[in-house]
Amino acid sequence: MRFEVLVEVSLRPGVADPQGQTIERSLPTLGFAGVHGVRVGKAIRFELEALDEPAARAEIADMCDRFLSNPVIEDTRVTVTATDPAR
18 binds other proteins (CB under 8 A): yes
**CA–CA gap between residue 66 and residue 36 (Å, rounded):** 32
| Identity of the residue, 42 or 54, whose beta carbon is nearer to other proteins in the bound complex | 42
Smallest separation, CB 44 to other proteins (Å): 9
70 binds other proteins (CB under 8 A): yes
Q: CA of 22: how far to CAs of 11, 35, 81, in Å?
A: 15, 12, 34
DSSP-H helix ranges across the chain: 18-26, 53-63
Residues at the site binding other proteins, with contacts judged by CB under 8 A: 11, 15-16, 18-19, 21-22, 67-68, 70, 72-73
